[in-house]
Structure 1
Amino acid sequence: MAIIQNWLPPSRENWDFICTVWAYFPIITTAQWVLDWYPQGKTSTESRWNIDGKIGWATMESAGFITLLYIMYALPRELGIGELPWGNWTMAGCFVFHYLYRALLSPLYLNPSMSPMHPLVWLMAFLFQITNGISIGGYLAGYGPTTQHYWAARSEYMFVGLVIWCWGLLGNMFHDDDLREIRRAANRKQVREARESGKPIQSVDKVYMVPKNGLFKYVLHAHYLCEWVEWAGWWMIGGWAFHPGRNFLINEITTMLPRALQGKRWYEKKFGKEKLEGRKAVIPGLI
């Protein structure tokens, strides 16, 4: 049953239109190169309209994989496809696994705290996820390869891509946890001080330090870099013809790169350039 007729799941014509528009998303991100206003995370601002960081992150990031799963369920029925190939489900599984970690496990259970976000940030991210979910979901649910032979013919590329995807995901998790440890250490310190003084425990939402482990020795946003590696491997699994995967990777880079450069300026202002020891923003030795 369609949620929105011809759009969710999308008709072939509407899916082609969405994919075409989605390829031009980097144009929208040019605003981030000239604006430092990004009211979320370490650059969040005080506002009566702010959304709780954990709830906001979980709801906006979940939209993509939920959309993809719904389309994987509904579209094949509309197209008369009895069973999707294992390769399609492998790629969908990788996508869903990533977002179960990033959208649910990470904010709701692993992160000690998260700064609030502005509703505009939430809305833009939500639309990003919905559009991306439709683009990828349509391809994997019937508008892309629908035979086992397609995947069997490129099993070597799939293996290499899966290895790259796994290393990118593990790197992303490792560096995420290094950032969490800063908050956890601050929380432990404040709990100890509160017990000794008898005062209430203060929030650790705004406790920041320069991360130093792993690739953080070379760049300030190593978790961004690892995520790009992860999705580059995922695109390799699908192959050159997997244009939704290519668009996803490019759109992530074009929106996260200016954010990383903005973050580097924030670190320089807060801690001083000398404390950063020549670290780049996101790509070692380059940017």
Structure 2
Amino acid sequence: MAIIQDWLPASQENYEKILFWWQLYPLLPSFQWFISWYGMGKTSVQSKFNIPGRIAWMTMEVPGFTTLLYIMSTLPAQHGITDLPWQNKVLAGLFVIHYTYRAVIFPIIQPSMSPIHVLVWANAIIFQVCNATCLGSWLAAYGPTTQEEWKAQNWSVLQFSIGLVIFYVGLTANYFSDEELREIRRSELRRQAKLKQQGRTVDKHYEVPQNGLFKYMLYPHYFMEWIEWLGYWIAAGGSCTPARSFLVNEFFAMLPRAVSGGRWYKEKFGEDKIKGKYVIIPGIY
């Protein structure tokens, strides 16, 4: 049963329309180069339009994998497809694995989360639904749906395997980079609790992460997420426009945040504290 007739799941005509506009998405986050405001994380500020961090994060990320799963379970039957190739199922599984961590586990295990502004929350939901609609539709019906169609794309098991390895390297490094940031927050919460017991004033404290990939860069969790989705695109094949668009859109959305964050670290801690570290792209910036 369609949630929105011909749109969710999308007809091929509407899928192509959504995909066309999805490829223009980089124009939207490019505005971040011209404004310093970003209503989440360490740049979150008090506002009556804020949503509690954990609730906002989960509700803005969950629509991604749930939309993809819904499309995968409904769209094939509309096109007379009784069974999808294993490649389609594995690629769908990788997406769900990533977002099970990102949307569900991540907000639960975070020691603390700053409020998220409703505009950031709404934009994230749009991003998730559009991305999942494009990827899910391609995997469910509008990409290769037989082994013959996969082979016709000059696809190979070796290529898929390489992409899979790169994906998991990115996913693992992303997790451990997140864990380093969580440990800093745990330490900060312990410090604040101790000060409260002593009846002293509790102020917000920040520090520069130093372990793991943070030895070399300020935003390894961003960079390794790019690596993760690069691996996904390689596994899906160069002709998978939705996978390519996802990677490009993540790059354009996250790069200005990292550049702004690099300036924040420099202003907060001084040049000496971050000397020798790249901001986000090793060997380049």
Q: TM-score, normalised by structure 2?
A: 0.95
Which residue does the alignment assign to 2:269? 271
Correspondence 1:192-231 to 2 at 5 A = 192-195=194-197, 197=198, 199=199, 206-231=204-229
**CA distance, structure 1, for counterparts of residue 194 and residue 114 of structure 2:** 23
Which amino acid in structure 2 is aligned with residue 57 of structure 1?
W
2:172 aligned with 1:174, yes or no? no
What's the % identity of the aligned pairs? 50
Q: Which one of the candidate residues 234, 237, 258 is aligned to 1:236?
A: 234
Q: Which residue number in structure 1 is paired with residue 123 of structure 2? A: 124
Please give the residue correspondences for 1:1-287 in structure 2 after superposition, counting only pairs within 5 Å.
Answer: 1-108=1-108, 110-151=109-150, 154-195=156-197, 197=198, 199=199, 206-287=204-285
Q: CA deviation at 1:192?
A: 3.8
Q: Secondary structure at the match of 2:73?
A: helix
RMSD of aligned C-alpha atoms?
A: 1.7
* Cα-to-partner distance string for 1:119-140 (whole Å, 9 max, x where unaligned): 0000111101110010001000
What TM-score does the superposition give when structure 1 sets the normalisation length?
0.94
State the SS of the aligned residue for 1:62: helix
- How many residues are paired up? 282
1:121 and 1:201 map into 2 onto residues whose CA distance is 31
Q: 1:211, CA displacement in angstroms?
A: 0.6
CA distance in 1 between partners of 2:56 and 2:200 (Å)? 26
Give unmatched runs, 5+ long, in structure 2: none
Equivalents in 1 of 2:277, 2:120: separation in Å?
Answer: 27
Residue 193 (structure 1) shift: 4.2
Q: Report the alpha carbon displacement of residue 201 of structure 1 after superposing the two structures with TM.
A: 11
What is the alpha-carbon distance in structure 2 between the residues aligned to residue 234 and residue 154 of structure 1? 14
The C-alpha deviation readout for 1:89-139, integer Å capped at 9, x for no partner, is: 10010001001101110112x100010011000011110111001000100
SS in 1 for 2:51: coil
Tell me the amino acid that sits aligned with residue 86 of structure 1. W
Q: Is the 8 A contact 1:183 1:207 kept in 2?
A: no
